[in-house]
């Protein structure tokens, strides 16, 4: 499972023992941890699944995200960088992301089912890829991750079925507790897969929205983290006809994407 595109190239180093220590029901000292805190807590799975199902049923939506990510330095120290983003999604095949990093730059990502564009508005430059046939959001996410040298944070929440990204390859799931986060009552759950740890804060009630997430990449040196606070959710956004199209500004320079070679089939791969 790859919950979020890695922002260090651009989604809890929290041990399960620490998760269990903060959970609502703590294990008596004479009860083995394996019995007291199952690795895949059905309640935690149900909370995460409900959030994924709610988002899957939403055919169009928008949200804002304030995010930060750590970059591990040569000496092992970490520096944090971040951005604000505005997402507009129209399933199954349209995405718009407006990004403003903390350094003041402005970037735009667009996909309309056939054309993918990334533009640096400050530099008045853009890259464009035209597909031979219509594709959906899932294809775009995989293309960006596997072939193009470009990030797409929070991509897994944009997929046509976010549940698969949340549940795939899970090794552990724990309910940490109930917390109030920016005015909303949330369930705090911790999930783990072979590569990364994920914490989700999911709003309680009729709209189980993801309000915050933290991802720690255990398989990356230094185990850097990515975090995002998600707000301004709308499930009836006004979407203009040109929302997912790009008209290059006057004098804009078109540049090429850096494309990674396609992976060789398993039978042809070098040993």
pLDDT digits (tens, 9 = 90+) for 212-264: 999 999 999 999 999 999 999 999 999 999 999 999 999 999 999 988 776 55
Task: Please report whether residue 254 resides in a domain.
Answer: no
> What is the average pLDDT value for the chain, to the nearest integer?
85
User: What is the count of structural domains for the chain?
Assistant: 1
Res 262: pLDDT: 65
* Domain-embedded: residue 263: no
Task: Flag whether pLDDT at 25 surpasses 80.
Answer: no
Listed in sequence order, the residues at least 6 apart from 198 whose beta carbon sits closer than 8 Å to its beta carbon are 3, 12, 166, 190, 191, 192, 213, 214, 215
Q: 17 or 158: which carries more pLDDT confidence?
A: 158
Quick check: is 130 in a domain? yes
Q: Which domain holds residue 143?
A: 16-21+37-239
Residue 146 lies in a domain: yes
Tell me whether residue 229 is in a domain.
Answer: yes
Banded pLDDT at 199 (limits 50, 70, 90): very high
- CATH number of the domain within which 211 lies: 2.50.20.10
User: What is the pTM assigned to this prediction?
Assistant: 0.82
**Residue 202 counted as domain residue:** yes
The answer to which of 46-55, 73-82, 114-123, 149-158 has the lowest mean pLDDT is 149-158
Answer whether residue 120 shows pLDDT above 80.
yes
Whether 92 is covered by a domain: the verdict is: yes
For residue 241, whether the previous peptide bond is cis, meaning omega lies within 30 degrees of 0, is no
Q: Is residue 183 part of a domain?
A: yes
What mean pLDDT is predicted for residues 33-58?
Answer: 85
């Amino acid at each position: 499972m790859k919950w979020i595109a890695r922002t260090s190239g651009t989604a809890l180093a929290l041990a399960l023992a620490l998760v269990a220590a903060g959970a609502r029901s703590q294990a008596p000292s004479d009860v083995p941890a394996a019995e007291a805190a199952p690795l895949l807590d059905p309640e935690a799975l149900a909370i995460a699944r409900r959030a994924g199902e709610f988002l899957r049923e939403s055919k169009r939506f928008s949200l804002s995200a304030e995010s930060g990510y750590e970059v591990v330095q040569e000496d092992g120290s970490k520096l944090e960088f971040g951005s604000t983003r505005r997402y507009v999604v129209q399933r199954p095949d349209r995405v718009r992301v407006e990004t403003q990093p903390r350094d003041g730059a402005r970037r735009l990502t667009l996909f309309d089912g056939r054309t993918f564009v990334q533009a640096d508005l400050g530099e008045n430059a853009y890259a464009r890829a035209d597909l031979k046939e219509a594709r959906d959001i899932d294809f775009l996410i995989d293309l960006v991750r596997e072939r193009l040298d470009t990030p797409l944070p929070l991509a897994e929440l944009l997929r046509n079925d976010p549940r698969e990204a949340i549940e795939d390859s899970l090794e552990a799931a724990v309910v940490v507790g109930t917390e109030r986060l920016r005015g909303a009552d949330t369930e705090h759950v911790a999930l783990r897969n072979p590569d990364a740890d994920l914490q989700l804060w999911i709003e309680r009630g009729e709209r189980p929205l993801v309000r915050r997430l933290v991802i720690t990449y255990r398989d990356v040196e230094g185990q850097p983290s990515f975090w995002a606070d998600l707000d301004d959710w709308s499930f009836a956004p006004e979407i203009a006809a040109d929302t997912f199209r790009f008209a290059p500004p006057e004098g804009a320079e078109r540049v090429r994407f850096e494309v990674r070679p396609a992976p060789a089939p398993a039978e042809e791969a070098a040993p």
